[in-house]
Amino acid sequence: MPKKDEFTPGDSVLLTTKEKQYVGVLMPSPNAENVVLKLKTGYNMVLKKKSITAVKKEKATVIVQEKTKLPSVQHKKELKTIAILHTGGTIASEIDYATGGVVGRFTPEEIIAKYPQLTETANVRSRLLRNMSSEDMRFPHYNILAKEIQKEIKEGVDGIIITHGTDTIAYTSAALAFALEHLPIPVILVGSQRSSDRGSSDAALNLLSAFRFISQSDFGEVGLCMHETSSDESCVLLPATKTRKFHTSRRDAFKTVNARPFARITKEGKITWINQQYHKVDKARKLVVKPFKEDLKVGLLKTHTHMYAKQFEVYSTFQGLVLEGTGMGHLPINTLDKETKEHEKIFKVIQQLAKKIPVVITSQTLFGRINLNVYSPGRVLKEAGVLGDYLDILPETAFIKLAWLLSNYPKTQVAALMHENLRGEITKRSLHEDFL
Pairing of strands 320-325, 298-302: parallel
Q: How far apart (Å, rounded) are the C-alpha atoms in residues 140 and 87?
A: 13
Question: What are the backbone dihedrals phi and psi of residue 44, each rounded to the nearest 5 degrees, phi first?
Answer: -95, 140
Is the pLDDT assigned to residue 109 strictly greater than 80? no
The answer to whether 242 and 424 are in contact (CB under 8 A) is: yes
What domains appear along the chain, each with residue ranges and CATH number? Answer: 4-57 (2.30.30.520), 81-289 (3.40.50.1170), 298-418 (3.40.50.40)
Q: What predicted TM-score, i.e. pTM, was given to this entire model?
A: 0.85
Whether residue 81 lies in the annotated active site: no
Task: Summarize pLDDT for 57-84 with one digit per residue, the tens.
Answer: 876 544 344 455 676 777 888 999 999 9
Which pLDDT score is estimated for 97?
Answer: 53
Q: How far is CA 263 from CA 223, 271, 356, in A?
A: 11, 7, 42
Q: How far apart (Å, rounded) are the C-alpha atoms in residues 164 and 125?
A: 17
Distance from chain centroid for Cα 220: 19
Whether residue 382 lies in the annotated active site: no
Among 87, 90, 168, 256, the active-site one is 90
The mean pLDDT value for 423-434 works out to 88
Whether residue 4 lies in the annotated active site: no
Cβ count within 10 A of residue 421: 12
Which pLDDT score is estimated for 65?
Answer: 42
Among 11, 61, 107, 167, the active-site one is 167
CA angle, residues 417, 419, 423, in degrees to nearest 5: 75
Is the pLDDT assigned to residue 311 strictly greater than 60? yes
Q: How far is CA 165 from CA 29, 80, 192, 267, 301, in A?
A: 26, 26, 7, 22, 23
Among 166, 168, 243, 397, the active-site one is 166
Residue 136 identity (one-letter amino acid): D
Is the pLDDT assigned to residue 424 strictly greater than 70? yes
| pLDDT class of 128 with cuts at 50, 70, 90 | confident
Is the pLDDT assigned to residue 103 strictly greater than 60? no
Among 38, 242, 245, 401, the active-site one is 245
Task: Summarize pLDDT for 178-212 with one digit per residue, the tens.
Answer: 999 999 999 999 998 876 666 678 888 999 999 99
Cβ count within 10 A of residue 111: 24
Whether residue 17 lies in the annotated active site: no
Find the helix or strand (DSSP H, E) in which 85 lies. Answer: strand 81-86
